[in-house]
Amino acid sequence: MRPIIVPLTALALSSVFGLSACGESEQSEPVAVNDIVAEAQKLNKPMPGQYRSTAKLLEIDVPGMPDSVVEQVKKQMAKAQSQTSEQCLTSAEVDDGWEDMVKNMNNATEGADCQFDKFKVDDGNLDAQMTCSAAAGIAAKIAMTGTMEPEKQVMTMVVSQSGGPSNMNMKLEVTNERVGNCTGSEAGAG
């Protein structure tokens, strides 16, 4: 399945590594993909259909960076947030299950090596943590918490990056909401 979590993670990772700017990085034992797949099976499956994704920057802190640069970053993020994206999730993708999603989350952005340190599901709520590293000693921790309902998913991501020119911490909220049936001629579209 190509669910909605993958674009959320890609957004967070591209924001972090694209800025090359942020937080503490602890080493921990990665969670095995099979364990994540088993845990992800507890998530509410989204309904097939057309989904709209929106992101909102809630907080950003770049210690030691001039306020003018921080404001520029906020403006860039606001511009990116003003653009919504839509994707079709077909019945076949929903039926395929979570294994592809988990594998895609581990490889959400090129040039970064990511692993899950935690992936827990309880009553439709996700609590996960991912550690990523990239070139030039940049490292990031991404904590993801959210609700995964059949027609709406809301994820809060807290990103802490270290390495590069400075550290950075930011908090994002990403919402994916079913807006109707798929608009194209996708096979099995809901």
Which tens digit of pLDDT belongs to each residue from 2-39?
444 444 455 555 554 444 333 333 446 888 888 888 88
Containing H/E element for 175? strand 168-180
Q: What is the pLDDT of residues 39-95, one digit of tens each?
A: 888 888 889 999 998 888 888 888 888 888 878 877 887 777 666 888 999 998 888
Give the mean pLDDT of the chain.
78
CA torsion angle for 31, 22, 73, 101 (degrees, to 10)?
-10
Q: What is the CA radius of gyration of the chain?
A: 17
Cα separation, 106 vs 148, in Å, equals 19
- Residue 186 — pLDDT band, cuts 50, 70, 90? very low
Residue 184, class by beta-carbon neighbours within 10 Å (0-12 exposed, 13-18 middle, 19+ buried)? exposed
β-sheet with 168-180: strand ranges across: 85-89, 49-61, 168-180, 152-162, 138-148, 125-134, 112-122
pLDDT reported for residue 126: 92
142: Cα within 13 Å, side-chain hemisphere: 31
